[in-house]
Structure 1
Amino acid sequence: MFDSASSGNRDRLIGERQEYRRRQQNAYNTRGSRTQQQPKTQSGDFEVSLLILASIIIKADGKQDQRELDFVRQQFNSMYGSERANHAFKLFKNISKQNISTRQVCLQIKQMMDHPSRLQLMHFLFGIAKADELVTEDEVRQIYTIAGYLGINSRDFESIKAMFYNSSENAYKILEISKSATDDEVKKAYRKMAKKYHPDKVIHLGKEHQQGAEQKFRQVQEAYERLQKERGF
């Protein structure tokens, strides 16, 4: 999938997705009207995408912070277990040594990954940037660039970015509304965002990715509850 990634560990991590792709494409071809649909992202694709984009973000401010590296390892341990995470981290270290074309990689990801999965990627990248307790301007610019290449619009970008800052203003941004919104508009926005970020949207990635999706969903709920409390409805 990714020309910039090394082949050794990568093949082990995503070997099965090629067989899945063949089976799924055959299934689509036999359904006529569904032939043009995009296959949903699989865990192996998502995993390699995380590794490549994580390496780009960690290098965005010109240095590799150990806390950010620890965050990646911790997240992979949590999602995949220690054995699979160790293999993934070896691949990650190989990727980190390479000069990767951000645009080329992101366009490949956009082509094969559905929108909810790309939103989940963005959430993970901000988590890496925040791991050292400071999201630098260089990191924000890099994530914004990645978002553009991935086809993530500015409202979705600002919504996910706001999840990593604690203020009532960011509660509005998470729900993609302005402070001038009426109470009814706040409620409507919450229902819309709860649907957009519901963990079921990425259930096809496997249970290992549900934790991150659930965290994103909780942040939407917390933003709404904060505005409920402030506005008294």
Structure 2
Amino acid sequence: MLLYLQLKLFDLKWIGAIIGFFYMRFGGAILGFIIGSILDRIFRGSSSSSGGGFGKIFQEQSAQVSPGDFELNLLSLSSLVIKADGKVTQQEMDYVRMYFVQAYGKEKANATFKTFNEVIKSREISVTRICEYLRPRVRYEVRLQILHFLFNIANADGHVSDAELRTLLNISQNLRIANSDFESIKAMFFKSADDAYKILEIEKSASDSEVKKAYRTMAKKFHPDKLQHMDEAYQKGAQEKFNKVQEAYERIQKERGL
């Protein structure tokens, strides 16, 4: 399928040359070839698995979300998690307030929290609509941080309820977060005999070399440097995830005597 797509893209320059020759003879063929080559590069860039080229630049420039819109949608998702079990606890509210104070300062956080109180009361918040808006506008590692933040809210009162977990899973799926990444972040909040392996997204039967490879992969995925462009609170959240990955690896090392 990929080879077919590449061949189709390669044909753009020649299709342009043929159309140009039909209308403007030799000069038109040259112009059509040039235009086809430009289109070729654009579509290759946007369809490349590495996301490189002009396609990536265009996507990054056109798919950004403003800070205000990001905050409002994050607050909306937060309210859904807080209300999931039918009660709003002070610990959960305090966690959200603290997070926004760290991210934006006390003055702006207080103003934002007034909006949050209204959001909490709203019954017209759609997970699907919010996630469809955010998904193409924020990078995958930011979506992972959003999920981690929401898990922290649910866990603020010391327990993630079944209703909260279902809401978190629904949000994760709508944000198109891989199930393995959901289970990894979930394992950071649910202690079990194999939670260290779940954090690294491997089975307990994995070989020592597979454990080391998984650690390198997860450390890279959750590295705080990926969120350098965001506020301090989000970087702190990334550091927390990164630390959990390191702790999981160290526990497995100790268990296996590596």
Does the alignment reach a TM-score above 0.5? Answer: yes
Greater relative CO (CA pairs within 8 A, separation 6+): 1
Encode CA deviations 1:201-228: one digit per residue, 9 max, x unaligned. Answer: 1112233421111111111111111111
Say whether residues 1:96 and 2:120 are aligned partners.
yes
Identity across aligned pairs (percent)? Answer: 51
For 1:194, give the aligned amino acid.
A
Corresponding residue pairs, total: 203
C-alpha distance in structure 2 between counterparts of 1:220 and 1:44, whole Å: 31
C-alpha distance in structure 2 between counterparts of 1:34 and 1:193, whole Å: 24
Partner of 2:42: none
Q: Judge conservation of contact 2:103–2:231 (CA < 8 Å) in 1.
A: no
Q: Which has the larger radius of gyration?
A: 2
Q: 2:60 is matched with which residue: 3, 28, 38?
A: 38
Distance 1:225 1:35, change over 3 A: closer
C-alpha distance in structure 2 between counterparts of 1:232 and 1:124, whole Å: 33
Say whether residues 1:68 and 2:92 are aligned partners.
yes
Say whether residues 1:218 and 2:240 are aligned partners.
no
C-alpha distance in structure 1 between counterparts of 2:149 and 2:58, whole Å: 29
Q: 2:234 is matched with which residue: 203, 209, 223?
A: 209
Partner of 2:24: none
C-alpha distance in structure 2 between counterparts of 1:42 and 1:164, whole Å: 31
C-alpha distance in structure 1 between counterparts of 2:220 and 2:245, whole Å: 10
Partner of 2:78: 54
C-alpha distance in structure 2 between counterparts of 1:221 and 1:64, whole Å: 33
TM-score (norm: length of structure 2):
0.74
Partner of 1:232: 257
Encode CA deviations 1:16-44: one digit per residue, 9 max, x unaligned. Answer: xxxxxxxxxxxxxxx84545423466654
C-alpha distance in structure 2 between counterparts of 1:154 and 1:79, whole Å: 28
Matches within 5 A, 1:113-132: 113-132=138-157
C-alpha distance in structure 2 between counterparts of 1:168 and 1:41, whole Å: 40
C-alpha distance in structure 2 between counterparts of 1:72 and 1:89, whole Å: 9
Specify every segment of 5 or more residues in structure 1 that has no aligned partner in the other structure, as ranges: 1-30
Distance 1:42 1:168, change over 3 A: farther
Partner of 2:111: 87
Encode CA deviations 1:169-206: one digit per residue, 9 max, x unaligned. Answer: 11111100000001110110000000000011111223
Partner of 1:171: 196
Say whether residues 1:109 and 2:131 are aligned partners.
no
Partner of 1:151: 176
Q: Judge conservation of contact 2:99–2:233 (CA < 8 Å) in 1.
A: no
For 2:159, give the aligned amino acid.
L
For 1:150, give the aligned amino acid.
L
Partner of 2:209: 184
For 1:114, give the aligned amino acid.
R
C-alpha distance in structure 2 between counterparts of 1:197 and 1:207, whole Å: 15
Specify every segment of 5 or more residues in structure 2 that has no aligned partner in the other structure, as ranges: 1-52
Q: Secondary structure at the match of 1:204?
A: coil
For 2:158, give the aligned amino acid.
E
Distance 1:106 1:53, change over 3 A: same
